[in-house]
Structure 1
């Protein structure tokens, strides 16, 4: 008589949670992290990447909480995994927000703040300079293998912050909020050389206009400022990699600190 394979509801619950909870954390990071969350990346590719990572990582996680999936605690664990993955992706996105802020500062100083178009990444209007710097940041992000390091950090997060039904600590969210300050400070540091140069140029043209009133500042001021801004931007490009690489590395370390801060007390 052939053997009959029987599966109990408890066994089915164990199999489901062993796959679903890690999958949700990974999908949350893929949906929020730079490059992975770009609108040009199909949703099916994002789900497939999270699924592949889950199939590799899930067998190494060990025992998970004995909580039914369709219960209040099971729903709470599911929400926690979404928050953890989204926090990791949001932390890395802060660097790109910093680059975009620098582009906004530069575009305003160059007189290109009106040259804006819809950016599907940010969901709003973005200046041309900000979009250009963002593309360069994406290339540096891929060239320095930060995307692979981010996936490695995601895998290690299951050991740093295991799946549990205990509530997450509030100190980790506080560290994440503090990390948002780099958007303004880092953006200003990146744009400062160009802003200082253009400010000096504007002061020089203002003095020249006062010395020689027949000098039409309005007719030549914008072309000179635009050409000088483009020249300074070309000089700034070679140094973007040396500026952003430490920022990416610091963000990866910041993600580790956030995960440590989220550990239940």
Structure 2
């Protein structure tokens, strides 16, 4: 018979629960991995594997034994917040990309058209889905998910379990980062916005010059065609802006870790 494995002590069980709470919090808010299209089994296996890896490469110190289940729940919630906060900066970037898609879709006349977004299972504009999928490809090709795995491991080194709390500097940092949604969204949508604005001006002039022309019927296919042409011509610029933005995310996560270490 095989020898029985040693039964974990209550302290080890609590330590595992706190570590998996932090790792799970990060993955639940991380784009791609937090979406509904990824099978739950893969998510669970990934979170457990990273949690066990943290146990093998880090010397983790558990907090004082909680006296009741409420205290234990609050400790786990605190660890979840650490993981969610780390993923928040990337979530902001994807929100900006989706916002740019909504602007483009509205300008092209896709306001009433919507499909199911495969990343989160919600209904959204078709252009937002397209922009989001392009951003997902960039996210994976630049190995941003690897950076977040390194960040969550590093967080255990600088932020002890059970002692972190949110401070004003972190809130200010996240608030400023959130404001970038509108700036980046407009930057990504600017080429199409300008092209379709010029198209509308041209159609307005033609309507005055040729009153018998049905501008309303012409504008729909024309806006869609010009919109896709401009998107294709500026695709390299779109990826360049995303590359720079994802590089900024790496810097922001490092800065956020330093602020969170001060908060601990």
Contact persistence 2:75–2:162 (CA under 8 A) = yes
After superposition, the C-alpha distances for 1:49-80 in whole angstroms (9 at most, x for unaligned) are: 11111111124432524411563554332111
Contact persistence 1:64–1:164 (CA under 8 A) = no
- In structure 2, the CA distance between the partners of 1:210 and 1:88, relative to structure 1 (3 Å rule), is same
Matched, 1:51 2:23: no
Matched, 1:67 2:64: yes
Matched, 1:38 2:53: no
The whole-number CA distance in structure 2 between the counterparts of 1:138 and 1:249 is 15
Match of 2:78? Answer: 80
Match of 1:175? Answer: 173
The whole-number CA distance in structure 1 between the counterparts of 2:258 and 2:58 is 18
Contact persistence 2:169–2:259 (CA under 8 A) = yes
What is the CA distance between 1:147 and its match in structure 2? 1.2
The whole-number CA distance in structure 2 between the counterparts of 1:63 and 1:202 is 62
Matched, 1:23 2:23: no
The whole-number CA distance in structure 2 between the counterparts of 1:169 and 1:160 is 16
1:85-100 aligned within 5 A: 85-100=83-98
The whole-number CA distance in structure 1 between the counterparts of 2:231 and 2:144 is 25
CA RMSD of aligned residues (A): 2.2
Which moved further from structure 2: 71-80 or 46-55?
71-80
**Count of residue correspondences:** 259
Matched, 1:219 2:211: no
Which moved further from structure 2: 12-21 or 192-201?
12-21
Match of 1:138? Answer: 136
1:107-256 aligned within 5 A: 107-119=105-117, 121-122=119-120, 124-165=122-163, 167-256=165-254
Task: Report the 3-state secondary structure (helix = DSSP H, G, I; strand = E; otherwise coil) of the residue aligned with 2:36.
Answer: coil
The whole-number CA distance in structure 2 between the counterparts of 1:128 and 1:209 is 30
Task: Report the 3-state secondary structure (helix = DSSP H, G, I; strand = E; otherwise coil) of the residue aligned with 2:247.
Answer: helix
Which sections of structure 1, spanning at least 5 residues, go unmatched? none
Task: Report the 3-state secondary structure (helix = DSSP H, G, I; strand = E; otherwise coil) of the residue aligned with 1:131.
Answer: helix
What is the CA distance between 1:37 and its match in structure 2? 1.1
Task: Report the 3-state secondary structure (helix = DSSP H, G, I; strand = E; otherwise coil) of the residue aligned with 2:160.
Answer: coil
Task: Report the 3-state secondary structure (helix = DSSP H, G, I; strand = E; otherwise coil) of the residue aligned with 1:132.
Answer: helix
Task: Report the 3-state secondary structure (helix = DSSP H, G, I; strand = E; otherwise coil) of the residue aligned with 2:59.
Answer: coil
The whole-number CA distance in structure 2 between the counterparts of 1:130 and 1:244 is 15
The whole-number CA distance in structure 1 between the counterparts of 2:168 and 2:10 is 30
TM-score, length basis structure 2: 0.89
The whole-number CA distance in structure 2 between the counterparts of 1:58 and 1:21 is 12
Which moved further from structure 2: 112-121 or 101-110?
112-121
The whole-number CA distance in structure 1 between the counterparts of 2:6 and 2:210 is 94
After superposition, the C-alpha distances for 1:61-109 in whole angstroms (9 at most, x for unaligned) are: 3252441156355433211100011112222111111110000000000
TM-score, length basis structure 1: 0.89
What is the CA distance between 1:130 and its match in structure 2? 0.8
What is the CA distance between 1:14 and its match in structure 2? 2.5
Contact persistence 1:92–1:252 (CA under 8 A) = no
Which sections of structure 2, spanning at least 5 residues, go unmatched? none
